[in-house]
Structure 1
Amino acid sequence: MINKLSDWLPTTNKEVKLRGWDYLDVILFSGDAYVDHPAFGPAVIGRILESYGLKVAIVPQPSVHDNLQDFSKLGTPRLFFGVTAGEMDSMVSNYTASKKRRDKDAYTPNGDKGFRPDYASIVYSNILKEKFPDTPVLIGGIEASLRRVTHYDYWSDSLKPTILTDSKADLLVYGMGEQPLREIVNLLQKGVPFSSLKTINQTAFLQQKEEKIPKNKHWKDVTINSHEVCLKSKKLFAANFKIIEQESNKIAGSRILQKVGDTTLVINPPYATMTEKEIDASFDLPFTRLPHPKYNKRGAIPAFEMIKFSINIHRGCFGGCSFCTISAHQGKFIASRSQESILKEVDKVANMPDFKGYLSDIGGPSANMYKMKGKVQEICDKCVAPSCISPMVCYNLDTSHKPLTELYKAVDKHPKVKKSFIGSGIRYDLLVPEFNKKANVTELDEYTEEVITNHVSGRLKVAPEHTSDNVLKLMRKPSFKYFHKFKERFDKINIRKKLNLQLIPYFISSHPACELEDMANLAAETKDLGFQLEQVQGFTPTPMTVATVIYYSGYHPYTLKPTKTPISKKEKEEQHRFFFWYKKENQQWIRNTLTKVGRSDLLQKLIPSNNSWRKNKDTKTKDTFDDTVTFISRKKKKFNRKNVKNN
């Protein structure tokens, strides 16, 4: 099928006229280039609004360096402006963990940088409020979602109030936007003024302190420490987070209230998890699945190229990892698509002109949580735990991998699919019977063998994150002993099937509770397992995570006990150096450090006195404190480079 320009949402006046429109209902502004694909939030929101019968346009990456004509070129929308920084927080997109500006922006043609301002949601919203003071501005996306309440901003090293304060936006939608948008549009179409949209789930707004809080008989209210109190007391700031996380993950959460200067922040409870019918409807919208033609001469968009032939099968994550924002944005409970909807999308991808028969990923936030939910819903309804699998797998959680195994096989039956890969990270702990004790062992074995035999392109990615039990407990991750158990299973299948695959474990340095000796242990243990670290991930504090609260405040929000965290550049760099124990320039420093703390045992493991090992000249290493992770095996295993590229 040959796409016409009018198949995309309009981005210019010319494209608006091509559709025969003389006005617009909603104009969206995004920090990303416009890719009309279900993996790109701005496109999803645009298509959702379009499905409600609205005339919608999108202005991708508006220029903030000229006369700001991009903000006024389409005029005034009938209902509201929508603003998002894009698929990532703009500061994460623009800067590395060491606060260095990135060389590339994955959501811009050719990876070019400079097309997305810092704090993009705030910048865009302020421009619109200045130019169109009488038109409502609605902000959403991950940047707005995770900054909806008092939060620590790593890049300015300061505590910031709700993003509503600095953006001057009228309303904020947090989390996945389909459900609140449906109600917003429904009420606006009935003639309800935008300023009266005060009791919609999953929205937040500011009102004057003296105003009465809108009534909703179904909601309970909980008040957290004010922004001003948080500025004075790090401990009270930390105390807020327990309430925020628990209420955000409840089936029926409370409304959260917080004083911010002369205003009150009101955060309405989230919606219940999307049903299969609802999430299918979102993915089944008429996406072209391609970047807008305006980018044809500017170069490929890296983020699109990465997911072009991939399929997202669910949303949400019940892992609740302390450093991760997935559950804070997508929710703790899993929203899974139907197999029918997924296979329909597989067929679309398979019939794309440049499809070569390889699906790069059948996955989600975690690859193997598809269709998993509570066995007894009433138990989940009362649950306040931030994780369903930490410190142990909940007895009420159905972790059957059978639906996923069946889905993989159904996908591979498509006549044009030669092979489907699992590019998303797999929760290996769910596949270890010693950890996932209530699971059907036969189903776990069938899934594990199916993945390793048919869906791995040279490398299988898993994320133990650390080897220290103290650090892992704070991370809400299982003991490293379960990684050993999984590796045993992986190796057995690898040998029996003569596959010659690599297991790629991901680790983090400088995480809260991590001491220098923990990193030395990590280096020694991974060396014993035969891994040589090539690039590593440094902990990056991002809003709305337990680890970030600890990083800033020094207190664990659930216990309010002091918790040590590597803060200084020197501490972070020293922890990082242990990843590269094999580099000659690090070895004397490691000797001195481990001798000083009396850990000659670790020194002998890492750099034995009779050490004759030398770094292979062909091994490329990059000793940088950054937030990308790859590993290579010390045993130089060969694998099909073509398949790796497809993965």
Structure 2
Amino acid sequence: MFLPTTREEMNQRGWKQLDIILITSDAYIDSPYMGVSVVGRVLEHAGYKVGIIGQPDVKSNVDITRLGEPKLFWGVSGGSVDSMVSNYTATKKFRNSDDYTPGGINNKRPDRASLVYTNLIRQYFKNTVPIMLGGIEASLRRITHYDFWSNKLRKPILFDAKADYLLYGMSDKSIVEFADALKEGIEPLHVKGLSYISKEPKAEYIALPSHAETLVDKLKFMDMFDLFYHNNDPISAKGLCQKVDDRYLIQNPPALYLTTEEMDEVSSLPFMRDVHPYHKKEGVVKALETIKFSISTHQGCYGECNFCAITVHQGKTIRSRSESSILNEAKHFTTYKDFKGIISDLGGPTANMYGYECSKKLAKGACEDKSCMFPKLCKALKPTHKKQLDLLRKVRALPGIKKAFVASGIRYDLISEDKVYGYEYLKEIVEHHISGQMKIAPEHIDDEILGLMGKPGKEALVEFKTLFDRLTHESGKKQFLTYYLIAAHPGCEEKHMHSLKQFASTVLKINPEQAQVFTPTPSTYSTLMYYTGLHFKTRQPLFVEKDTLKKEKQKEIVVAKERKFHSGLDS
């Protein structure tokens, strides 16, 4: 049974009023891959009456009022993807398609959805119960942030949205604590992972440079971001306080991560793994094709690529589900009539980080002065692919499972660092867990640009390709690698793209067909460099391409067809 999204469904349950109503800019897909659905199921499991409104019409009161007013609070999410990223390309062209909208037409997701939905609630429900922001859009905009689409620094989102609170990061724990406090009539200011506005600063919290300071001094903005970035670990982080005009943003320390047992419990909640009939009648929601029969094995990523926001939102400590929980989920797939024996993905943000972590990090929190993987793998982190190797084999052996793809990204440098199981793991992947192609993300090959991205050197890529080609040949299969490449990253000039093109032709033996122009999304170091024009560590001037046509030219350099290039060069 879905969580109710209509009054009729409330009546079927005998509910006159909901405790909590969740709003999202996606169609309501009841899946463990959809943040709003997870939050809804977790709250339901805790005993609350929860409803979901997906993609409400912002030009009328028809959708926003159809479930009435909640008893405890409204929860507003910008969706699974930041609404501005979802709506616009890296060159600010409007996207006509939307995988999370019925029919695939991008006509139901407003720009800055979190702000629009809170305004919509306030318009039709005067003096209503508290409004809480959540999801990646709000999480990454919770302090002063650079907004690429308006090309300016914006205030923390709570100061622009007419909301009362914000829960950042993975809020599986904090959302229940938040609801419990409101139920008991207690102001929820103690909740970990909570941000709110205060008239007074919090003396025991770290004072960030004020919003006014960051507007006039880019070095202050960099100071602010450094403090923000290094206070995201639940074990070691301190609370933060930032002055905005005559008030203060208060950010409590992060919520504790879920334990393996708690992750297993969330995964076992009764998700329908389908689009709610309310939306399904309007057309196919393409995103369901990818996530319906996929399994998330873990959360977090310690790769810390500078252009990626996973570290700030999910954290850089790996939390893995138990093998038994994952196997049970795979077995459950076989009960669905439309399951054809294919698991679309078995992984996480980075698939081959499943099942191991640094013991020091688990005990004391993430290191502030060094990264787990850059510029070299930390000696304290001892990668082993054994647990994922065992898991893949057991999933594949289950009755009714024909294929389990590993479609999420892998870090190929971790494979080479695992001297015991790395080779065996890749052999297993090549023989059983990809189909035709394997996608990897070197992003670039120039050492200068890779350093700015926080990515490993090209030597690791060459080593991986050599091994992949050999194993593919031995397997007797026709398989190949495809590469995610980025153009116009801060520091990148046309000469760097020419080098990438030459490397792709002579070493990778490919003519790249795709490359993406860098998009400055909130709360990443790459975006920090894009805005300031300064190196994120040395703070020395850095070239940043901001001309749209020249960004596209960088992309075209690497994807341009070469007349001299022919299939005989293929390995």
CA contact (8 A) 1:332 1:386 kept: no
Kindly state the Cα deviation for residue 571 of structure 1 after the two structures are TM-superposed: 2.6
- For the residues of structure 2 that align with 1:43 and 1:382, how far apart are their CA atoms? 29
Q: Does 1:613 align with 2:564?
A: yes
SS at match of 2:511: strand
CA contact (8 A) 2:233 2:365 kept: no
Q: Which residue of 2 aligns with 1:112?
A: 105
Q: Does 1:125 align with 2:109?
A: no
Deviations 1:485-513 (A, max 9, x none): 11111111111222221011211000011
Kindly state the Cα deviation for residue 177 of structure 1 after the two structures are TM-superposed: 1.1
Query: Which residues in structure 2 correspond to 1:440-479 (within 5 Å)?
Result: 441-479=419-457
Structure 1: state its 5+ residue gaps.
1-6, 584-611, 616-632, 638-647
CA contact (8 A) 1:239 1:558 kept: no
CA contact (8 A) 1:154 1:541 kept: yes
Kindly state the Cα deviation for residue 178 of structure 1 after the two structures are TM-superposed: 0.7
Distance 1:635 1:102, change over 3 A: farther
C-alpha RMSD of the superposition: 1.7
Identity of aligned residues (%): 41
Query: Which residues in structure 2 correspond to 1:128-277 (within 5 Å)?
Result: 128-132=121-125, 133-192=127-186, 196-208=187-199, 211=200, 213=202, 220-249=204-233, 251-277=235-261
Kindly state the Cα deviation for residue 250 of structure 1 after the two structures are TM-superposed: 5.8
Q: Which residue of 2 aligns with 1:86?
A: 79
Q: Which residue of 1 aligns with 2:499?
A: 521
Q: Does 1:508 align with 2:492?
A: no
Identify the range of structure 1 (501-510 vs 573-582) with the bigger mean alpha-carbon deviation.
573-582
SS at match of 1:295: helix
Q: Does 1:535 align with 2:514?
A: yes
Q: Which residue of 1 aligns with 2:548?
A: 569
Distance 1:45 1:250, change over 3 A: closer
CA contact (8 A) 2:505 2:565 kept: no
- For the residues of structure 2 that align with 1:381 and 1:293, how far apart are their CA atoms? 44
Q: Does 1:58 align with 2:52?
A: yes
SS at match of 1:506: strand
1:548 aligned to which of 506, 521, 527: 527
- For the residues of structure 1 that align with 2:139 and 2:545, how far apart are their CA atoms? 27
Kindly state the Cα deviation for residue 134 of structure 1 after the two structures are TM-superposed: 3.3
Distance 1:379 1:138, change over 3 A: closer
Q: TM-score, normalised by structure 2?
A: 0.96
Query: Which residues in structure 2 correspond to 1:209-608 (within 5 Å)?
Result: 211=200, 213=202, 220-249=204-233, 251-377=235-361, 380-381=364-365, 383-385=367-369, 387-432=371-416, 436=417, 439=418, 441-528=419-506, 529-582=508-561
Kindly state the Cα deviation for residue 144 of structure 1 after the two structures are TM-superposed: 0.3
Letter in 2 for 1:73: R
Identify the range of structure 1 (46-55 vs 385-394) with the bigger mean alpha-carbon deviation.
385-394
CA contact (8 A) 2:201 2:241 kept: no
Deviations 1:16-69 (A, max 9, x none): 10111111100111100001110011111111110111111111100012x223
Kindly state the Cα deviation for residue 363 of structure 1 after the two structures are TM-superposed: 0.9
- For the residues of structure 1 that align with 2:553 and 2:62, how far apart are their CA atoms? 48
SS at match of 1:249: coil
Letter in 2 for 1:200: V
- For the residues of structure 2 that align with 1:111 and 1:134, how far apart are their CA atoms? 34
SS at match of 2:400: coil
SS at match of 2:232: helix
CA contact (8 A) 1:379 1:396 kept: no
- For the residues of structure 1 that align with 2:373 and 2:306, how far apart are their CA atoms? 13
Deviations 1:370-427 (A, max 9, x none): 0121133576436214631111111111311100000001101111001111111111
CA contact (8 A) 1:339 1:407 kept: yes
Q: Does 1:96 align with 2:47?
A: no
SS at match of 1:461: strand
- For the residues of structure 1 that align with 2:163 and 2:155, how far apart are their CA atoms? 13
Deviations 1:102-149 (A, max 9, x none): 010110112121101000000101221333323100010000000000
Deviations 1:606-639 (A, max 9, x none): xxxxxx6378xxxxxxxxxxxxxxxxx87679xx
SS at match of 2:557: helix
Q: Number of residues paired by the alignment?
A: 569
Q: Does 1:36 align with 2:27?
A: no
Q: Does 1:76 align with 2:69?
A: yes
- For the residues of structure 2 that align with 1:238 and 1:71, how far apart are their CA atoms? 39
Deviations 1:298-323 (A, max 9, x none): 22111111222211111110000000
Letter in 1 for 2:113: A
CA contact (8 A) 1:279 1:337 kept: yes
CA contact (8 A) 1:110 1:300 kept: yes
Q: Which residue of 2 aligns with 1:640?
A: none
Q: TM-score, normalised by structure 1?
A: 0.85
SS at match of 1:327: helix
Letter in 2 for 1:554: G
- For the residues of structure 2 that align with 1:513 and 1:525, how far apart are their CA atoms? 19
- For the residues of structure 2 that align with 1:381 and 1:579, how far apart are their CA atoms? 40
Distance 1:336 1:363, change over 3 A: same
- For the residues of structure 1 that align with 2:232 and 2:468, how far apart are their CA atoms? 36
Kindly state the Cα deviation for residue 71 of structure 1 after the two structures are TM-superposed: 1.6
CA contact (8 A) 1:239 1:560 kept: no
Kindly state the Cα deviation for residue 481 of structure 1 after the two structures are TM-superposed: 1.2
CA contact (8 A) 2:133 2:165 kept: yes
Distance 1:21 1:568, change over 3 A: same
CA contact (8 A) 2:485 2:514 kept: no
